[in-house]
Structure 1
């Protein structure tokens, strides 16, 4: 049987939309300066710059709606003693060591009153952190995720989000990667199996609706 990818996915029921919850939170993954400085080997170019503008909008919309805003950062001890196999695999992660300017949150985003910063050493915001327990205590049922990079830490966080029982939305305009190919491929795959893709406007309107109920 010869069928297109679209036909195959439709037959499997991929890309089905979920029923969104009533208590959303925004998770903004790894907006480190390393992705925005051209001298850094992690520099992500225009894809990351575009995502930053939308992440700023998402954070503002969440705060206005009273939804939690949670940032994540990758931070290692100097020399990477706490980085394990991930640090050994990717030498550029040295730019995310504590004390380096490239490790810090990029200008334009800041951790405001009531916001949280989750520090991690591995791709997923959930792995080895208190994120799941914190969200459960807050009674959050739906996560809106944006961040860097789409093919890396955003995807890892997305998979662990649905695995942890959260309805997962990917704010596609607030996600960035070095090239359109990996970015689009991973958005497609997350949409098929793990999350709903939403625009910044759709995510903002959803949070506003939740705040009004």
Structure 2
């Protein structure tokens, strides 16, 4: 199948757009120091993704839209990370007390922002995120974070599965390589969420 035929096939099957909800929250997944530390196994060169997410954060705050940050914190043994910890060796960066699990410059949490600590890829799995959003009346998750092919994708699928309209912001997500980044944006847009530009989500946020 040619690229043109494949695009037409996907447009026919998955070209639907769900749009935005009435009550959004901004979810910033795993913007932690390990991804910004040269020489670290997780270094990803994703400064532009963080810069985009920070601009969206400021817009959201200006409209009193809730902001939720996530990070991984594991027991020093890693046993609470189960098979995920056994498989993915770089998760050693996220054991308790490791500075690589800390926030990068510019993303110091504010007092009125929420922090969700997780042990698995999805921000929703085994955490209180879904009931917290529901209790706040949120129907729409604006999703940013690292990495696109890992914790962003897992959080996207679970956000949709919990009944939230989900919007992934292209420029505010990042990965080590463009191939998994683009492939996962393509697939999330096809099946689980609308993938939009930073400019589009900023325009939407300013309508509130």
Which TM-score band (shorter chain)?
over 0.9
Post-superposition CA distance 1:11-53 (Å, at most 9, x none): 32x13111311111100000010000012101112xx111010
Q: Does 1:78 align with 2:76?
A: yes
Once the two structures are overlaid, the 10-residue window that deviates more, 123-132 or 18-27, is 18-27
Which secondary structure state, in structure 1, belongs to the residue aligned with residue 170 of structure 2?
Answer: strand
1:98 is displaced (CA, Å) by 1.2
Counterpart of 1:190 in structure 2 is 188
The normalised TM-score by structure 1 is 0.94
Work out the CA distance in 1 between the residues paired with 2:114 and 2:44. Answer: 25
Once the two structures are overlaid, the 10-residue window that deviates more, 16-25 or 183-192, is 16-25
Post-superposition CA distance 1:127-165 (Å, at most 9, x none): 000000000001001111000000000000000001000
1:197 is displaced (CA, Å) by 1.1
1:203 is displaced (CA, Å) by 1.2
Report how many aligned residue pairs link the two structures.
207
Which secondary structure state, in structure 2, belongs to the residue aligned with residue 113 of structure 1?
Answer: coil
Counterpart of 1:8 in structure 2 is 9
Counterpart of 1:20 in structure 2 is 20
Q: 1:199 to 1:10 in 2, by over 3 A?
A: closer
Which secondary structure state, in structure 2, belongs to the residue aligned with residue 83 of structure 1?
Answer: helix
Gaps of at least 5 residues in structure 1 are none
1:201 is displaced (CA, Å) by 2.0
Structure 1 contact 15–196 (Cα < 8 Å) conserved: no
1:45-194 equivalences in 2 (<5 Å): 45=45, 48-194=46-192
Gaps of at least 5 residues in structure 2 are none
C-alpha RMSD of matched pairs (Å): 1.3
The normalised TM-score by structure 2 is 0.96
1:79 is displaced (CA, Å) by 2.1
Structure 2 contact 19–194 (Cα < 8 Å) conserved: no
Counterpart of 1:33 in structure 2 is 33
Work out the CA distance in 2 between the residues paired with 1:178 and 1:76. Answer: 23
1:10 is displaced (CA, Å) by 2.5
Which secondary structure state, in structure 2, belongs to the residue aligned with residue 56 of structure 1?
Answer: helix
Structure 2 contact 145–152 (Cα < 8 Å) conserved: yes
